[in-house]
Amino acid sequence: MSFPQNRQRRLRRTPALRRLTSEIRLDPADFVLPLFVKEGLSEPVPVSAMPGVVQHSLGSLRRAAAEAAEAGVAGVILFGIPEHKDAVGSQADDPDGIVQMALRDLSAEVGSALVLMADLCLCEYTDHGHCGPLTETGADVTVDNDRTLERYASVAVAQAAAGAHVVAPSGMQDGQVAAIRAALDAAHHQDVAICAYAAKFASAFYGPFREAAESTPSFGDRRSYQMDPANAREALREVQLDLDEGADLVMVKPALPYLDIVRQVRDAVEVPVVAYQVSGELAMIEAAAANGWLERERAMLETLTSIRRAGADTVITYWATEAARLLRATEAARLLR
Ligand code: PBG
């Protein structure tokens, strides 16, 4: 049937018809909120390149997590910034390291309402800003893959002991998921899940995050361990390897410039697929909105819808709490009309 019998506009005529025919419905439970917690802070400190995002003190972290839970957000993912950094990132697996302290706090306060995830990497903890201890071969300085695995294993156990429900290795070292699974199981944390940053691209869109996490590499970049933005088949291979090694969830990161990867991963696997809407994705929309060039809330919800439509079950987004509140307010307003 074609025009004029068919009219596609019939089903777009009213808000109620559009609601009925909507294929993707955003829900607060789709979202995970990233939170930065910095050792030694008594007040939160704004991150200039990420409007609305702060480095938290332990006190403000608790409030932010409680607000997220209240808004219906599914979980939080924690990033820690230690006072003291060194070559191997010792603070990352210290039982009194900042993320471990934060996890213990949040377990007690919101541990039953929120999934507590911990980003598992060393770049915030090393004095050189790379994701693991370094090794030198000739003139070449790079992250020592196998020594890094031992460090990640120990960090995973520390995070699990402090109350993480999910650890999320983001360092893109080969074998990291297997090393972490073995260490967790040996320490009787067999119920702690692994969300693998499986397809993590070496992206310019991480720029603002490095200010928030104070993790800018002091030399070079991460291209020798993160993925080339040109590679889709390789992303599927990374995902498959992480599943073989025991990942419970797999992540694609960034989200918006990699929606094709989200879709391909969704079609290839049965486990939950997570997409990370990264700092630069937030920054570009916030900057455009601040200039009056975009409608901020519409753009926010449109990107989240796109990421879900591409196949992500869960979206990690700095807008989690706000988007959750917006969705609830919109639904409530509809009922009152
Ligand atoms: C740490 C890590 C990064 C992000 C999440 N975990 C930065 C990086 O790899 O340089 C980026 C998140 C964002 O940009 O919002 N390895």
Residue 138 pLDDT: 83
Q: What six digits make up the tokens of 138?
A: 């000739």
- For the chain, the domains span 25-336
Residue 336 pLDDT: 76
Maximum Cα interatomic distance, the chain, rounded to a whole number of Å: 73
d(CA 225, CA 336): 52
Which ligand 1 atom minimizes the distance to the CA of 131?
16
Ligand 1 centroid, distance to 126 Cα (angstroms): 14
Residue 307 pLDDT: 98
Residue 337 pLDDT: 66
Report whether residue 119 contacts ligand 1, using a CB cutoff of 6 Å. yes
Residue type, 42: S
d(CA 257, CA 229): 9
Residue type, 326: L
Q: For residue 256, which of 320, 312, 197 has the smallest C-alpha distance?
A: 312
Residue type, 122: L
Report whether residue 206 contacts ligand 1, using a CB cutoff of 6 Å. yes
Residue 291 — left, alpha, or beta (φ > 0 → left; ψ -120 to 50 → alpha)? alpha
For ligand 1, atom 7, name the residue with the nearest CA: 206
Block means of pLDDT (10 residues each) for the chain, 337 residues, are: 97 96 97 98 97 98 98 98 97 98 97 97 96 90 96 98 98 97 98 98 96 91 94 98 98 98 98 98 98 98 98 98 97 82
Name residue, tokens 């699974």: 181
Residue 36 pLDDT: 98
CATH number of 25-336: 3.20.20.70
Helix (H) or strand (E) holding 19: helix 15-20
Report whether residue 123 contacts ligand 1, using a CB cutoff of 6 Å. yes
Q: For residue 182, which of 172, 192, 168 has the smallest C-alpha distance?
A: 192
For ligand 1, atom 11, name the residue with the nearest CA: 206
For ligand 1, atom 5, name the residue with the nearest CA: 170
Q: Per-residue pLDDT tens for 151-163?
A: 999 999 999 999 9
Report whether residue 78 contacts ligand 1, using a CB cutoff of 6 Å. no
DSSP 8-state code for residue 37? E
Q: Which residues are catalytic?
A: 200, 253
